[in-house]
Structure 1
Amino acid sequence: MSNDVASTDGGASAAPPTRRRRALWVAGVAGLTGVVGLAALGGVAARDDKPNSDRVSDAQSTNRQNVSDAGGSDNAGKEDGAKQDGGRNDDLSGDDWSGFDDRSGKDDKRDEKDRTEQVPCDTDKLIQAITFANSKDGGVLELAKGCTYTLTRNQDGDGLPVITQPITLKGEHTTIGRDATADYFRILNVGPGGHLTLKGLSIKGGQTLERAMTMDAATVWAPYSPSVRGTAAKPADAPGTAAKPADAPTAKPAAARAATVAKPAAKAQATSSVAAKAAVPTAKPATAGPATSPLVEKPGFTDGAGVLVQPGGRAEILDSELLYNQSGGNGGGLANFGTTRLSKTTVAHNTAFFFGGGIFNAGVLQVDESKVKDNTGIIGGGGIANGAAGIFTDSVDGGSAWVYKSEITDNRTLGFGGGVLDVGGSTTLHETTVSGNTALLAGGGVAVADSQLSLQHARVAGNSTAGVGGGVTVAFDSIATVENTTIKDNTAGFFGAGLFNEDSVTTLRDSEVVGNRAVGPFARGGGIYNTDGGEVTLHGTWVAHNFATLPPGGIFNNLGSTVTLDDESSATANRPTNCFNVPDCFA
């Protein structure tokens, strides 16, 4: 499945190039539930379709382009060289964000004051103000300081009207939340052509565990139409008292569809498979707003319990919080299928039944100076999931995710990628800490499959897994570049407590892999474990003080795989030994 995320102005897609992905990539990491077999086999012959080190430069180029697409300023090239390293851009506002509304131009500042409306601490008034702003080409809504707007009803699974125009919601210690006893629904939905800006708000308690028993749109939103803008809805006329139409949906529809996954013809053994899977119902798109490109990756009805950004939609979440939201699909706090930026924002205590406990991305995502902590993604991506594997749900190709000067901590999953998971996308972690995360099967800190990963001036520390790759797991034809990064004090129950590399190309430059521990009864490769024809290259990198139950404690290289150390790299002081099957490395 491709991920064609087109820009709302009709420009070129900002998504990374579509590449082949294993339909069920979990089947190979195996292997992760029966990964002991790798030790018993001792080695696997290299296959003809392995990636090679020549592709590493392409991965770097792609990541930098994706960072620019994610909201970087075109003027970033005029900054000093340090700011350009790895796609860094200190001007995070960028023309791509400020120029979203083509109609405004020079009139933006003048019009903003004219379009600003004070919204009292009244939920009905908030709904009414959003409805009016949608009908009047947007607006700026200043919410009451310290107020909690409690939502008790919904329309098509949304607690507030779908955002179809440029709308800003400003608050100060202000909360928009779902009443705990209300039907299940998300808080905010940004439709195609909509541009939502949140400032100083807490989005709290959205819940999308099942398809809500909703009423028709006219019944719910009629009291808040522009014609009655100046009056509040009377309690007697509240939509909650109306009878539910007989044709209201009562259950999530399901339909079978076939998906063909084929390897490229250039592969030595070209094969194809057809798998039937249930289609997830998509969120109802907004009927208003400008025309957009055809949608390819569509959100499920239960995706994004806090905020959902549909393809063609945009969101900026600034100085805000996404808290205690629970998704029955992907993206507990946020599900982004369009273009979203989070800045100085906390995403915490959210849950997703599938992928992305805190954040799910299938579009263009930028996270800067933010905290993603204490979230749970049941299958994968406890903190952030960039894409989803086809496990109990539809597969979704990841988009472009760039995380800068942020913290991804104390997140968890029963599957893959306790902190960060990427499936078929491109992820860059720049000056970011990934620590204290856990995954049962693989990638306690970070896990990627058929993806491009870049770690720049990052820290991956204190993460754990019962399976493989306590710090980082790179699998299934992925390309990973690790620069000026520390992979430290991570633990694994089987292989590769620091780094597990399978069928992929990983390059480490000026980095260190230290103090990692593979502690299970069959565990080995405390620092690095490379297998299944993978390639690991170390430039100026130190692998030291790692431990494994079975030798080696430093670097294990399976037969048919390749590990290369340059003259400035070393593997020392690992226990019980330093290396196995690694040239120029003393055991």
Structure 2
Amino acid sequence: NSDGGGTLSLAEKCTYTLTANQDGNGLPEIVQPITIHGNGATIARAANADQFRFFEVGTGGDLKLRHLTLTRGKSSAAFEEGGAINVVAGGRLDLDHTTLHNNSTDDIESDQGGAIYNEGITTIRNSTLSKNSGYDGGAIANEYGKLEIETSKFTGNVSGDYAGAILNEYGTTTIRKSLFDYNYAEDGGAVYSYDGLTEIEKSVFKYNVAEYGGAIYHSADSFHLRESTVAYNTAYYDGGGLYLEDSATIENSKIYGNTATAQQGGGVYISLPGSQEVAIRRTVISGNQAPGNGQTGGGIYIGTGDLVTLTDVKVTDNTSDEPAGGIHNDGTVTTYGKIKIIDNVPTNCTGSTNPVPNCFG
């Protein structure tokens, strides 16, 4: 910092164990452009040390981490957010080939961003975030900031409330070519999007678990899912794969093998306020389940008054306890192009309050 920035190169595959708490951080606040080449090294908080995260990226700070692991960071009660890294509104963080493992916030009952809390600009590539935990955003909480993720893996992260892996709240989050598996939260096993812009492309969501929205819970503002796979996720209540509570676009994707254990919408659960609309295009929704007693909408559940458009969509081999097993429609569905809704159990669409065009049986 005192030299106006610079580059540090760590000893190859060495473990640097930090013991001292410096105002809630293990290292001085980053306020200049600084690059750390880890060369496979690890920075760890000592097991018997006070609680602290590793880095705070302050206003004017631009921190780049390369080929480095951060583990056992734990934010202190006085410096709550970001178990490993806190990025303030005027800061930048860039991770490449970096692992954040087993970091957490001080109090899983209130604090956000088990590994990273971002109000600035954060870019993550070729990295892994695993077994981190926080109250909202088990791995990352993005609030009012810009978050870009590409070719990265989020696995085994846990939230006590929203977003097992990533919370996007009032910010902009873009996710490309990434894998989310075995994450857990009450709402949004992998991702929870609220009052911001969330775009997901060419990514995979598997084996995530939540009470609502096994893989993804979209609550407000803008959400786009493209060329992605949502498979084998589980919600105890509604939305085994996706829980959509505001306008959303789903296209060129596969949603299969998801389960809403006790309620509705094995693949997709839609419940919209006002005149919002969900568009689903060129997407296959198959093999999803809503097996609970009296539950419907194994493939898609559409709530009262909701507007949904389907274009070139296949809804096949989904099951529920009561009709309809394919699409349960209490709203208005408009169809375009080639629609294939077949082989759903106990019915395709029959039993819904309102008919679904081009759906029979």
After TM superposition, give the deviation of residue 147 of structure 1 in Å. 1.2
Match of 2:208 among 434, 437, 440: 437
**Structure 1 pair 360–539 and aligned structure 2 pair: CA distance change class (3 A):** same
Q: Residue 303 of structure 2 corresponds to which residue in structure 1?
A: 531
Q: Residue 306 of structure 1 corresponds to which residue in structure 2?
A: 84
Q: Residue 355 of structure 2 corresponds to which residue in structure 1?
A: 582
> Are residues 1:334 and 2:116 paired?
yes
> Are residues 1:173 and 2:40 paired?
yes
Structure 1 residue ranges (4+ consecutive) displaced by more than 3 angstroms after TM superposition: none
After TM superposition, give the deviation of residue 449 of structure 1 in Å. 0.6
Q: Residue 320 of structure 1 corresponds to which residue in structure 2?
A: 98
Match of 2:15 among 129, 143, 148: 148
Match of 2:137 among 356, 364, 373: 356
Percent identical residues = 38
Amino acid at match of 2:23: D
CA offsets per residue over residues 261-305 of structure 1, 9 Å max, x none? xxxxxxxxxxxxxxxxxxxxxxxxxxxxxxxxxxxxxxxx31111
After TM superposition, give the deviation of residue 567 of structure 1 in Å. 4.1
Whole-angstrom CA distance in 1 between matches of 2:99 and 2:165? 14
Equivalences for 1:303-452 in 2 at 5 Å?
303-327=81-105, 328=107, 329-352=111-134, 354-362=135-143, 363-387=145-169, 397=170, 399-413=171-185, 415-440=186-211, 442-452=212-222
Whole-angstrom CA distance in 2 between matches of 1:197 and 1:449? 32
Which is greater in Rg? 1
Amino acid at match of 1:369: T
Whole-angstrom CA distance in 1 between matches of 2:210 and 2:259? 11
Amino acid at match of 2:263: F
Whole-angstrom CA distance in 2 between matches of 1:343 and 1:195? 16
Q: Is contact 1:372–1:409 with CA below 8 Å preserved after alignment?
A: yes
Q: Residue 266 of structure 1 corresponds to which residue in structure 2?
A: none
When the two chains are superposed, the root-mean-square deviation of aligned CA atoms in Å is 1.1
Q: Residue 282 of structure 2 corresponds to which residue in structure 1?
A: 510
Q: Is contact 1:410–1:435 with CA below 8 Å preserved after alignment?
A: yes
Q: Residue 570 of structure 1 corresponds to which residue in structure 2?
A: 340
Q: Is contact 1:330–1:355 with CA below 8 Å preserved after alignment?
A: yes
Unaligned runs of 5+ in 2: none
What's the TM-score, normalizing by structure 2? 0.94
Whole-angstrom CA distance in 2 between matches of 1:360 and 1:550? 38
Whole-angstrom CA distance in 2 between matches of 1:162 and 1:470? 42
Whole-angstrom CA distance in 1 between matches of 2:324 and 2:127? 42
Amino acid at match of 2:356: P
Whole-angstrom CA distance in 1 between matches of 2:59 and 2:257? 44
After TM superposition, give the deviation of residue 583 of structure 1 in Å. 3.3
Unaligned runs of 5+ in 1: 1-133, 212-300, 388-396
What's the TM-score, normalizing by structure 1? 0.58
**Structure 1 pair 137–209 and aligned structure 2 pair: CA distance change class (3 A):** closer
Q: Residue 463 of structure 1 corresponds to which residue in structure 2?
A: 233
Amino acid at match of 1:494: Q
Whole-angstrom CA distance in 2 between matches of 1:209 and 1:520? 42
> Are residues 1:551 and 2:336 paired?
no
Match of 1:491 among 259, 268, 271: 259
Give the secondary-structure state (helix, strand or coil) at the position aligned to 1:207. Answer: coil
Whole-angstrom CA distance in 1 between matches of 2:62 and 2:75? 22
Whole-angstrom CA distance in 1 between matches of 2:3 and 2:304? 58
Amino acid at match of 2:193: D
Q: Residue 520 of structure 1 corresponds to which residue in structure 2?
A: 292
Give the secondary-structure state (helix, strand or coil) at the position aligned to 2:187. Answer: coil
Whole-angstrom CA distance in 1 between matches of 2:163 and 2:355? 32
Q: Is contact 1:410–1:436 with CA below 8 Å preserved after alignment?
A: yes
Give the secondary-structure state (helix, strand or coil) at the position aligned to 1:316. Answer: strand
Aligned residue-pair number: 348
Amino acid at match of 1:308: N
